[in-house]
Copies of this chain bind each other. A is one copy, B any other.
Amino acid sequence: MLSAELIAVGTEILLGQIDNTHARYLSDELAKLGVSVYLHTTVGDNIDRLTSIIKQAMLRSRIIILTGGLGPTGDDVTRDAVSDVCKLPLQFSANAYENHVLPYFCQIGKQPSDTNRRQALRVGDAEFLPNPRGTAPGQYLRHDGHHFFLLPGPPLEMRPMFEESVRSRLEILAGSAVIHSRVLHLYGIGESDVETMLQDLYQTQTNPTIAPLATEGEMVLRLTARAAVREEAKALITPLEKELMKRLGSYVYGFDDVSLVQVVFRELLGRSKRVSFAESCTGGLLSSMLVDLPGSSKVFEGAIVSYSDTVKKYALGVSDTLLERHGAVSEEVAKAMAEGVRSALHTDYGVSITGIAGPGGATEDKPVGLVYVAVDGESGVKVMRRVFPGNRTQIRIRSAKLALHLLLQELTR
């Protein structure tokens, strides 16, 4: 199997100032291509250390992807290090300077400095990889059985370059074997319960494999098959997916690249229904999740963030009696909030959230993490209660997802 290593270059990563976000992105892309990632390394802007790391990587892996260190200054040593290791001189390419460095400066209306000429230094006979989003073109070098990709550090430059110029080259290198993945998204069941229900499959499945992953309040199962052609890989997955749906189907809300809020958005859109939210402890988080999707105005009317009781009363019409008798965090108030926002904003559905996100605010019978969500629609009002673990941010995220889950149930019942 083809193996690869990732080397991130940048002292700012070793100082803890920024995350190396490339590692996950590139590993995920390589996994999809069936390329096995052997190691991730992060090294500072230091040519001796980088040279030594590249030499070690060449002993282990055929593909070496370097990110960062392609800028114009003397700190940017990736080109020099690859040139040293491969004993291939750096040569100024007038062609690359004109076609890859100058156009960006032209676009942003600035003059390049002399140092920018460094960015057109080619390692041996490397191919330049276009970077219309910045000053640093990438480079692709074949040398002595190895394949080097030199990519820029900023994610907004590196990721498009990977998609436009790297992936297709790796597909050719990865050759005949293809990898196909199918992802199942689950809500309402925990990792250990899934493990118990699938124990026999975990132990016997090798192609396809099953990989579980727990995220905030959700679960993902990734089925991955390897075969000579895509259709064959897909056919390997089909029976396993059917078996999983038989066992866990009631928890599965979507497939592949979706999120809970996207599924809810599509269901609303498909039914031409509009929704409004009344948020207390989540404080606008649920609305913000929906508005982050382009086109959300087609289904979303607006929200009342009723953080104080006064707003619950005057903007949502929750009665004093209810608030005094049951408290703001109660089944009764959750229902009244959902009904109130649906009626105030004239939508098909009204969704509410009220809870105690902590760290303060708990009482003897109402712990931190207690949350009620309610959905009011044509068939009346439904409510759910949960006590979530975690810190304030986690409780707020889980509460917003619970509300989406209840809305999805009402939409698809």
When A15-B31, A15-B211, A392-B294 are in contact, do A305 and B283 touch as well, CB less than 8 Å?
Answer: no
When A28-B17, A290-B283 are in contact, do A41 and B38 touch as well, CB less than 8 Å?
Answer: no
Question: A257 to chain B: closest CB distance in Å?
Answer: 14
> Which residues of chain B have C-beta atoms less than 8 A from A29's C-beta?
16
> Which residues of chain B have C-beta atoms less than 8 A from A37's C-beta?
14-16
Interface presence of A334 (CB below 8 A): no
> Which residues of chain B have C-beta atoms less than 8 A from A392's C-beta?
292, 294
Of the candidates B19, B49, B345, the one whose C-beta lies within 8 Å of that of A39 is B49
A27 and B41 contacting across the interface, CB-CB below 8 Å:
no
> Which residues of chain B have C-beta atoms less than 8 A from A27's C-beta?
13-16
Q: In the docked arrangement, what's the CA distance between A375 and B260, Å?
A: 34
CB 8 Å contact bits of A65-101 with B (1 = contact, 0 = none):
0000000000000000000000000000000000000
Copies in the complex: 2
> Which residues of chain B have C-beta atoms less than 8 A from A248's C-beta?
none
> Which residues of chain B have C-beta atoms less than 8 A from A24's C-beta?
13, 16, 18-20
> Which residues of chain B have C-beta atoms less than 8 A from A20's C-beta?
20, 23-24, 40
> Which residues of chain B have C-beta atoms less than 8 A from A44's C-beta?
38
Interface presence of A282 (CB below 8 A): yes
A12 and B213 contacting across the interface, CB-CB below 8 Å:
yes
User: Which residue of A301, A345, A360, A396 has the most chain B CB atoms within 10 A of its CB atom?
Assistant: A345
> Which residues of chain B have C-beta atoms less than 8 A from A15's C-beta?
27-28, 31, 37, 211
Interface presence of A207 (CB below 8 A): no
> Which residues of chain B have C-beta atoms less than 8 A from A379's C-beta?
none
Interface presence of A384 (CB below 8 A): no
Stretch from A158-166, A167-175, A230-238, A306-314 contacting the other chain: A306-314
Question: A312 to chain B: closest CB distance in Å?
Answer: 8
A–B Cβ pairs within 8 angstroms, 24 of them: A8-B40, A12-B211, A13-B24, A14-B38, A15-B31, A16-B23, A16-B25, A16-B29, A16-B30, A18-B213, A19-B19, A20-B23, A20-B24, A283-B284, A283-B296, A283-B300, A284-B288, A285-B291, A288-B396, A291-B305, A302-B308, A303-B303, A304-B305, A305-B305
